[in-house]
Structure 1
Amino acid sequence: MTIGIGLIGAGWIGEEHVSRLTNVITGARVTAVSDIDLDRAAKVAAIAGARVIDSPEKLIDDAEVDAVVITSWGPVHAEQVLACIAAGKPVFCEKPLTTDAADGLRILEAEQAHGSRLVQVGFMRRYDAGYRQMKQIIDAGGVGAPLMAHCAHRNPSVPESYHSGMATLDTAVHEVDALRWLLDDEFVSVQVVKPRSTSKRFEHLTDPQIVLLETAAGARIDVEVFVNCQYGYDIQCEVVGETGTVRLPDPATPVVRGAAQAGFAVVQDFPSRFAAAFDVELQEWTDSLNSDRALAGPSAWDGYAATVVTNAAVRALESGQIVPIELTERPAFYA
């Protein structure tokens, strides 16, 4: 069976996903593409020999679209996801699921009313081999009860349009989801500390930032977000437990020795670092649709929880205070 995929949002990540679904993923075919820029939509649709549809609503309702991939602008995700649920069509939505927690609750209510999971959120780190190995070790009790986690999310640079709130909304959101998943725990408070700013930033930007999180079980997590580090795209994660530690491995790459030095190249961008994770993510999603298995990837609850945490982090950045994180009670539907 081949699933007909409609894609909404033909920007960079949309183009990447169309190429991936066409050239890498089995069991799926991109049948339609929609974007506010019809010329851009036509360029991306040509990769898959797909049709251009001039509105998200028409694409969702199209008879050749069995499932939808949303890679549009974050603030419009909620309405597009809700339209997919209303049509009874599975939807893979890149993060954020919503930019407002109230919209996340609307999605939770709509999906529960439908009666089965339709929504998966694109938190690709859960599909990275290193993170999955860490998860297995923690779940098996290999380091004992988790007490702390130390994380770093570094980019070589960011464009001038990047603002201080994006450090959590767009960047550390990946750590937020990954740590919720690794520790199987929810966050209850957040604080943002501002170290000395780098001279390499645009003046309007607070960079770096340190995001301090506390879980319901009392574990403490620090996330360094440094988006103008200059040297590369560097993702680090270490969980400290009662009996040991487990650390995310660096990407496999040759060590070169010569000229009195030994070292390896640092990855320069996130597509290179997580390309394999994107492949696994979309393949497993497609396999679930083709086998009628329940979706097992990040859920609408995960998307809602991440939005609540990152919105609280923005308030913490602005206020300098420790901000409580208040989630609604988790429905049994998402247990």
Structure 2
Amino acid sequence: METIEQYLPREVRVGVIGVGLMGADHVARLASRIKGARVSVVTDYLREKAQEMADGVPGCRVVDTAEELIAAKDVDAVLIASPGTFHRDQAIACIAARKPVLCEKPLAMNPEDAYAVVQAEAEAQKATGRRFVSVGFMRRFDAEYAELKDAIDSGELGQVSVINCKHRNATTHPGFVDSMMVYDSAVHEIDAIHYFLDEAITEVQAVLPLPGPRAAEGQHDPMLLLLRTSSGRIVTDELYVNTDSGYEVRTEVLGSAGIATIGMGITRVTTQMAGGTWGGTVPFDYRPRFAAAYDAEVQAWITAVLDGSNIALRSATAWDGYLAAATCEAAEQALTTPGFVPVTARPRP
């Protein structure tokens, strides 16, 4: 049997696949704010972009392909920030190379591909005793999400019956269709529900109100998803991605012993009220809101790689990535299907 010790590095040399908006953000994070790690290799389909990024990081070099990066001897762990269509094959290649991987969401573009990653990791775990895949659902490392999770687990809120979620963006890029509202936006709330409740979502219904004034042609914005969990709890997810005001995320949990709300302390809105107004500013995108969560997520991953566990305590696993993909598939079907659509999930290997 392979031993853990043969894979443990003293310093984690990280290879980053994809240096677009999210990948570049991660390179800067690893280079300046994360202990016990350095960026050793980067790659991108635009080589000049990768070279520009590498030039700003001491000791970093560029390779032409993700395959070359994963196989590199000066790469101990891999951070995948490439387009989602490549995640399945790149994650499986990391598993085959026995290199821990932090894969930005989605784990894969459909449940079948996500399950292939789960199966590959299960086989590797039999041989090594270790798991290799973490999925970049950074909200699990946000201080407010962690506090709410602890309040639910401790019983402080009593029996949870309803969770209300809100996900709002200032604007979307051209071509951001209804299915992308599910796979790019709602996927975060879907994973948060799995995280908060430790139970599966079993069915999804979509409610499509009249489109807002800034919705693109054919786009249902706002959109409301209703999700039911295996114990019968109900979750609402309000998606409004062209508000023209900024990025805000809120979650409200209704329990028998109390109600908890997160998001109000950081995301502030301007509201017209009788007799006066109150308000402030809203960040334009997700990075200011979850900057600390991204830092905490990557630091926890690096720490886990150094100690041989690979998977941080709150991290989303490959199985979590699969459940998110299966639920998103049902939510996409619900956009054109009346009533609730069941979530079809295969057994865990």
TM-score, normalised relative to structure 2: 0.91
Name the residue aligned to 2:5.
none
SS state of the match for residue 316, structure 2? coil
Task: Say if 1:193 and 1:320, in contact at 8 Å, map to a contact too.
Answer: no
Q: Extract structure 1 runs of 4+ deviating beyond 3 A.
A: 251-256
Query: How many residue pairs were aligned?
Result: 328
Q: Distance in 1 between matches of 2:101 and 2:310?
A: 13
Correspondences of 1:211-226 after superposition (within 5 Å): 211-226=225-240
CA-CA distance at 1:269 after TM superposition? 1.2
Q: Distance in 1 between matches of 2:234 and 2:72?
A: 47
Distance 1:198 1:22, change over 3 A: same
Name the residue aligned to 2:217.
203
Q: Distance in 2 between matches of 1:158 and 1:72?
A: 19
Correspondences of 1:240-255 after superposition (within 5 Å): 240-252=254-266
- Find 2:140's aligned residue among 126, 137, 144: 126
Q: Which runs of 5+ in 2 are unaligned?
A: 1-9, 271-275
Q: Does 1:69 align with 2:79?
A: yes
Residue deviations 1:49-79 (CA, integer Å, cap 9, x gap) = 3111000001000000000000001011000
Correspondences of 1:80-119 after superposition (within 5 Å): 80-115=90-125, 116-119=130-133
CA-CA distance at 1:250 after TM superposition? 2.4
Q: Distance in 2 between matches of 1:48 and 1:239?
A: 43
Task: Say if 1:251 and 1:273, in contact at 8 Å, map to a contact too.
Answer: no
Name the residue aligned to 1:43.
52
SS state of the match for residue 318, structure 1? coil
Name the residue aligned to 2:179.
165
Q: Identity percentage over the alignment?
A: 39
Task: Say if 2:248 and 2:267, in contact at 8 Å, map to a contact too.
Answer: no
Q: Distance in 2 between matches of 1:191 and 1:254?
A: 29
Name the residue aligned to 1:312.
330
The letter for the 2-side match of 1:284 is A
- Find 1:153's aligned residue among 161, 167, 170: 167
CA RMSD of superposed structures (Å): 1.6
SS state of the match for residue 156, structure 1? coil
Distance 1:294 1:18, change over 3 A: closer
Distance 1:72 1:294, change over 3 A: closer
Residue deviations 1:68-102 (CA, integer Å, cap 9, x gap) = 00000101100000000011100000000001111
Q: Distance in 2 between matches of 1:290 and 1:153?
A: 35
Q: Does 1:52 align with 2:62?
A: yes
Name the residue aligned to 1:282.
298
SS state of the match for residue 84, structure 1? helix
Q: Does 1:270 align with 2:280?
A: no
TM-score, normalised relative to structure 1: 0.94
Name the residue aligned to 1:20.
29
Q: Distance in 2 between matches of 1:102 and 1:253?
A: 36
SS state of the match for residue 120, structure 1? strand
Task: Say if 2:144 and 2:262, in contact at 8 Å, map to a contact too.
Answer: yes
Task: Say if 1:19 and 1:47, in contact at 8 Å, map to a contact too.
Answer: no
Q: Distance in 2 between matches of 1:89 and 1:306?
A: 23
Task: Say if 2:207 and 2:225, in contact at 8 Å, map to a contact too.
Answer: yes
Q: Distance in 2 between matches of 1:183 and 1:135?
A: 8
